[in-house]
């Protein structure tokens, strides 16, 4: 999966050189894309309108499908939220390891990031569930949460690393000059500022994780996609079932993309004020 965000690099002469990074997250609505007919409004409210209209005009099967999937929606959110929490913890420690001055700590963290980012999430899910599952006695949701936490922890590590390195070095030097230890300065000065910088990309990762949570349906987890598959396999209404599932995922990801956009705008406004 491709991760990243737009940024600029400097060439050998020091001039700005724009780069393009492609991300698998949803399209974040821009402030200047306002208006009733903006792409986000059309997509979001169009999906909601379809979810309301389809059961009204065709209760069978759309109303039955909507009444069949709520518990899968709860499972999807549970796996996503728990996984993102563990991924943040793993990412924080791995990110600190990536900038550690101790060579062995840096090497371990870097190897972890490179290995995990080099293996597809689906393969990691299969490996942890089928290969390590019997050894660790993990089944269903715990195996899915472990795999997704480890996978996204590697991407969170790079976000934390980039966020910490974005803080001016003078902050750490000033803290050390005041007699603080490096670990204390990192905990009390650097990391609080880093969190403010990395909140938007963390929001993007949450959206990507929400979409990738559909992969856990292969591990006997009754998430949103699996519930849709179960209904389709018993009723043979594949088109209707997957249409509803796709619309629900679209509404969720667009909703959270709007929250990320609002969060970015507020952080940008506070930065301009200060």
**Residue range 164-183: average pLDDT?**
84
CA angle, 120 then 256 then 246, to 5°: 65
Residues 6 or more apart whose Cβ sits within 8 Å of residue 231? 61, 64, 65, 68, 69, 237, 241
Mean pLDDT, to the nearest integer, of 49-62? Answer: 92
Q: Compute how many other C-beta atoms are within 10 angstroms of the C-beta atom of residue 118.
A: 8
Span 172-189, average pLDDT: 84
Among candidates 73, 93, 124, which has minimal Cα distance to 227? 73
Q: How far is CA 66 from CA 50, 211, 251, in A?
A: 12, 19, 14
Tell me, what's the pLDDT at 30? 56
How far is C-alpha 108 from the chain's CA centre? Answer: 24
CA neighbor of 33 nearest in space, from 206, 265, 235, 230? 265
pLDDT tens for each residue of 3-21: 554 444 444 454 444 444 4
Percent of the chain with pLDDT over 90: 49
Lowest mean pLDDT among 49-53, 86-90, 128-132, 270-274: 270-274
Q: Confidence band (pLDDT; 50, 70, 90) for 28?
A: low
- Please list the residues that pair with 10 across neighbouring strands: 16
Helices 141-166 and 70-98, axial angle in degrees (round to 10): 40
Region 94-103 average pLDDT:
91
Structure tokens at 232: 């389709």
**Mean pLDDT taken over the chain:** 84
Q: To 10 degrees, what angle do helices 103-117 and 141-166 make?
A: 120
pLDDT of amino acid 87: 96
Q: What sections of 10-68 are H helices per DSSP?
A: 39-57, 59-68
Q: What is the DSSP string of 54-75?
A: HHHH-HHHHHHHHHHSHHHHHH
Q: What is the arithmetic mean of pLDDT over 17-32? A: 50
| DSSP structural state of residue 217 | G
CATH placement of domain 57-273? 1.10.3720.10
Distance CA 174, CA 89 (A): 27
pLDDT tens figures, 105-121: 999 999 999 999 999 99
Rg (CA), the chain: 22
Q: What pLDDT, on a 0 to 100 scale, did the predictor assign at position 20? A: 41
Instruction: Return the residue matching tokens 């959270």.
Output: 256
Residue ranges per structural domain of the chain:
57-273
- For residue 61, cis peptide bond before it (omega within 30 degrees of 0): yes
Instruction: Tell me the residue length of the chain.
Output: 274
Q: Label residue 270 by pLDDT band (50, 70, 90).
A: low
> How large is the average pLDDT for residues 203-222?
89
């Amino acid at each position: 999966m491709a991760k990243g965000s737009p940024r600029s690099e400097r060439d050998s002469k020091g001039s700005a050189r724009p780069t393009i990074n492609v991300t698998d997250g949803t399209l974040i609505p821009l402030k200047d894309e306002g208006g009733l007919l903006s792409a986000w409004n059309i997509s979001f409210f169009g999906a909601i309108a379809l979810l309301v209209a389809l059961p009204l005009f065709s209760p069978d099967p759309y109303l039955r499908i909507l009444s069949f999937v709520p518990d899968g929606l709860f499972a999807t959110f549970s796996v996503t939220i728990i996984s993102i929490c563990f991924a943040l913890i793993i990412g924080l420690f791995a990110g600190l390891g990536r900038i550690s001055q101790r060579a062995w700590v840096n090497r371990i963290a870097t190897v972890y990031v490179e290995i995990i980012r080099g293996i597809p999430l689906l393969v990691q899910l299969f490996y942890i569930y089928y290969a390590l599952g019997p050894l660790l006695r993990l089944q269903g949701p715990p195996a899915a949460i472990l795999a997704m936490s480890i996978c996204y922890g590697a991407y969170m590590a790079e976000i934390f690393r980039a966020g910490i390195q974005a803080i001016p070095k003078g902050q750490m030097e000033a803290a050390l000059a005041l007699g603080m230890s490096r670990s204390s300065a990192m905990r009390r000065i650097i990391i609080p500022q880093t969190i403010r910088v990395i909140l938007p990309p963390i929001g993007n990762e949450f959206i990507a994780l929400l979409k990738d949570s559909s992969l856990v349906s292969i591990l006997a987890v009754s998430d949103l996609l699996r519930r849709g598959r179960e209904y389709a396999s018993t009723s043979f209404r594949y088109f209707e079932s997957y249409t509803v599932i796709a619309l629900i995922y679209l509404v969720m990801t667009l909703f959270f993309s709007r929250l990320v956009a609002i969060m970015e705008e507020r952080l940008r406004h506070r930065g301009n004020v200060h």
